[in-house]
Amino acid sequence: MRYRPDLDGIRAAAILAVMAYHTTIGAFGGGWLGVDVFFVLSGFLITTLLLREFDDTGRISWARFYGRRALRLYPALIAIVVAGLVFFRDFGDHGTLRGYGTTALLALTYTEDLVYGLTGDPHGNMLHTWSLSVEEHFYLIWPLALMVLLPWRRRASWWVGGAAVASWLAMAATVHVHSADGTPYRSYILPWSVAWTLLVGCGLAVIVRSGRLPRILAQTRVGVTAAVLAVLATLAAARLPREPHMVWESTLVVLGTAVLIAHLDTEGGLLRRLLGWAPLAYVGRRSYGLYLWHFPILVLLQRHLNAGGRLDGIAMVVLAFAAAEVSYRVVERPFLRLKSRIGTGKAISSTSQPAPNARRNVPIPGGTP
């Protein structure tokens, strides 16, 4: 897939929304929805690459797929876990070194979503790895499922759509159930109730690859309307309680993101130029590092500086950008070069990056600083 700066622009908007949310400033209270944007984009890009590989070679190599993902994700994750060891009292479960071992294990084994979602126990302050966990669980299954669906490619979008609806219903039901104990966000991070956001992106990729996108999506007004609706839902989420509103807010943002991506793929025009603006593309290329570093940095600032939400937030943004730049140049880019030699990927941002977490001190909307 050729390099798409406009897709990096979408990543930039998503990570900036999540970082703004974590500043605890009320006006940015809906920024947690940035995680949905990342999931849709991830499903679209990963599936596009898998379909292209199948069309070119007649097969999908699981070894190549998982090898590329490991090279993309694991080096920076190991770096943040090692760095966190220095501050184990701040990040470790119960503030102990042994507790940090549990915290680090959950991050490195991609199990934070299951542990926190099922038990409600965060086990320390590396909760932002929940979104990595969701993606890894999804991509353990999706390549195999896609191979099964490919012989019936014209009907594949219907099967994917059905699975997405089932997952959406699971989310709606469990959010309602968990609202009784004040933690509806717990159900939002479980892999089976958030898979629909990824599946929407996957289904879009199948439709795009088949050439069956409606022509109306090429019109600028369609793309602009989708973007505006997603922004309005995010603004509404800053003022409305999570239950029951988070279900429709998330739905509107997911569908708006999918329509926007479809528009950019068919025509783009004005929106493609705006989202491909160089500063936005720059932020998008570093969104993974920003995701990994901004939350731990904020935890440290709140515990040791405690200058207030606004000042802590500003300091977090500055330090997170500095850390993300170092991470990108020193840790990520060398492995990205190696990854580019494996399989069909030719550009850094033609592959997915994990979604950032959408919480302050817990990984889903609704928590407290």
Helix 130-149 and helix 34-57, axial crossing angle in degrees, nearest 10: 30
pLDDT at 355: 46
- Rounded to an integer, what distance in angstroms lies between the CA atom of residue 146 and that of residue 158? 13
Provide the b/e sequence for 62-95 (b: ≥16 CB within 10 Å).
eeebeebbebbbebbbebbbeebeebbebbbbee
- Which pLDDT belongs to residue 343? 54
Contacts 24+ apart (CB under 8 A), 299-304: 299/90, 299/91, 299/125, 299/361, 300/87, 300/90, 302/369, 303/90
More confident of the two residues 72 and 241: 72
d(CA 313, CA 294): 10
pLDDT in tens, 95-110: 999 999 999 999 999 9
> What are the tens digits of pLDDT across the range 185-194?
777 889 999 9
Whole-number pLDDT of residue 311: 86
Residue 154 has pLDDT above 90, yes or no: no
Q: Is 253 helix (H, G, I), strand (E, B) or coil?
A: helix
Is the peptide bond between 354 and the residue preceding it cis, with omega within 30 degrees of 0?
Answer: no
315 pLDDT above the threshold of 50: yes
pLDDT at 243: 72
* Average pLDDT in the chain: 87
pLDDT per residue as tens digits for the range 119-147: 888 899 999 999 999 999 999 999 999 99
Q: Compute the average pLDDT of residues 304-312.
A: 79
Confidence class for position 356, pLDDT limits 50, 70, 90: very low
Q: What is the pLDDT of residues 197-218, one digit of tens each?
A: 999 999 999 999 988 889 899 8
- Quick check: 242 pLDDT over 80? no
- What does the pLDDT look like over 163-181, one tens digit per residue? 999 999 999 888 877 777 7
What residue segments make up the domains of the chain, in order of their start? 5-350
**Cβ distance 224 to 272 under 8 Å?**
no
C-alpha torsion sign, points 113, 251, 11, 264: positive
Distance, first Cα to last Cα, the chain: 40
- pLDDT range class, residue 361, cuts 50, 70, 90: very low
Winning range, highest mean pLDDT, from 29-33, 165-169, 335-339: 165-169
User: What mean pLDDT comes out for the span 293-309?
Assistant: 88
With a pLDDT cut of 70, the percent of the chain lying above it is 92
Model pLDDT, residue 364: 33
Q: Quick check: helix, strand or coil at residue 24? A: coil
Residue 368 confidence (pLDDT) above 50: no
Structure confidence at residue 24 (pLDDT):
73
Provide the pLDDT for residue 346.
Answer: 42
Asked if pLDDT for residue 349 goes beyond 60, the answer is no
Pick the residue with more confidence: 359 or 135? 135
Q: Is the pLDDT of residue 155 over 90?
A: no
What is the share, in percent, of the chain residues with pLDDT greater than 90? 63
